[in-house]
Amino acid sequence: MPEYLRPYLPIFVFFLLVFGFGAVNLLLSWMLGPKKPNPKKLSPYECGITPIGDARHRYPIRFYIIAMLFILFDIEAIFLYPWAVYYKQLGLYGLVEMLIFLGILLLGYVYLWKRGAFEWE
Amino acid sequence: MTYFSSVEGSLFLITALVAVVSAVMVITQRNPVYSALFLVLTFCALAVLYLLLGAQFIAMVQVIVYAGAIMVLFLFVIMLLNLDRPLETQSKLKHQRLVAGVLAAVLLVEMIYLLHRGLPTTGTQPSPPRNFGTVEEVARVLFRDFVLAFEVTSIVLLIGMIGVIVLAKRHLDEKKAAAPERILSPLRKE
């Protein structure tokens, strides 16, 4: 195994365990579990509110706004990560450039706040 | 042959196979939500391929941004569209499949030709240092050599924020003005 892949070996083992655990459990319950289906058991929520209509409903556009803003600020946070790792070597220069970056995004944040993008109404 | 029998090579083969198969599943599924979930698998396989290239930071971003945030957006957009309508099986564009098939075949022939002829890898360019994809290296290049590009990114993100509001919020305001009752209870049965 090449040296640069060695640190990922534990992650690989972890994935194998996770998928193995899931697969073995599904397989065992499929093999061992008795199957006596009736309409009540096969309904999506056996003990709950009776479903109204279809799950394939048109969702409000508000979810789109939230998802889009999540991406934008997610990318902002992604940029902070390498910056924080390399901050000591960058010094004041790094601080100023990140402040400009965050300042521009803060403008957008203030705009979003003023327009009520964070309100669920 | 030696490459594909090594650990690295077999990992590449497996991930490449997963990536291609899941990409094919994305475009062949009838249910768009299944397509989106197969796209997550494609993105994860791509992340592993990035790792094999030594681009650790890109691999991490691939999982966090693409498989995470962008897939959330995709799913919301799919749910935003009307799914209770039966999907159109016939494509609106005529001969779309034929054109796509021909173009894919041309690309395949090109790739086979190039691989057969051999890529110019030896001697001409020094291979990048092994640490070129680490977080420190990306940070050094990004925050020293490409500062302008980095700062412009914030403008791009800002445009994204304004775009969301202009497109979605105005629409919401209009709808609210038209029918305030419906907006307040989106899950009420019409």
Chain-centroid distance of CA B12 in Å reads 19
Q: What is the pLDDT of residues B35-61, one digit of tens each?
A: 999 999 999 999 999 988 888 899 999
Residue B59 lies in a domain: yes
Which CATH number does the domain housing residue A32 bear? 1.20.58.1610
Residue B103 lies in a domain: no
Residue type, B68: G
CB atoms inside a 10 Å sphere around CB B103 = 10
Diameter over CA atoms, chain B: 70
Q: Do B57 and B138 meet the contact criterion of CB atoms below 8 Å apart?
A: yes
State the smallest CA–CA distance between residue A27 and chain B in angstroms: 22
Number of structural domains in chain B: 2
Boundary (domain end) residue, out of B58, B83, B108: B83
What predicted TM-score, i.e. pTM, was given to this entire model? 0.77
Residue B24 lies in a domain: yes
pLDDT of residue A29: 92
Residue B17 lies in a domain: yes
DSSP assignment, residue B83?
-
Query: Rounded to whole angstroms, how far apart are CA atoms B134 and B54?
Result: 8
Diameter over CA atoms, chain A: 70
Range of A100's domain?
Answer: 3-114
Boundary (domain end) residue, out of B52, B83, B114: B83
Under-70 pLDDT residues of chain A: 1, 55-56, 121
State the smallest CA–CA distance between residue B68 and chain A in angstroms: 9
Please indicate whether residue B89 or residue B92 has the higher confidence score (pLDDT): B92
- Hey, are the CB atoms on A112 and B165 less than 8 Å from each other? yes
Query: Rounded to whole angstroms, how far apart are CA atoms B128 and B69?
Result: 30
Judged against a pLDDT cut of 70, whether residue B176 lies above it is answered with no
Range of B57's domain?
Answer: 1-83
ipTM score of the complex? 0.76
Please give the C-alpha separations between residue A25 and each of A11, A30, A44, A61, B122, in angstroms, as whole numbers. Answer: 21, 8, 21, 38, 50
Query: Rounded to whole angstroms, how far apart are CA atoms A60 and B188?
Result: 12
Residue B130 lies in a domain: no
B54, B68, B172: residue with CB nearest A61:
B172
**B77 and B151 inside one domain:** no
Judged against a pLDDT cut of 90, whether residue B183 lies above it is answered with no
Number of structural domains in chain A: 1
Q: What is the pLDDT of residues B10-27, one digit of tens each?
A: 889 999 999 999 999 998
Q: What is the pLDDT of residues B105-143, one digit of tens each?
A: 999 999 999 888 876 665 555 666 767 788 888 899 899
pLDDT of residue B169: 76
Sign of the C-alpha dihedral computed for residues B91, B92, B98 and B99 taken in this order: negative
Please indicate whether residue B183 or residue B14 has the higher confidence score (pLDDT): B14
Mutate to test the interface with B, among A68, A80, A107 (most CBs of B within 10 A): A68
pLDDT of residue B188: 47
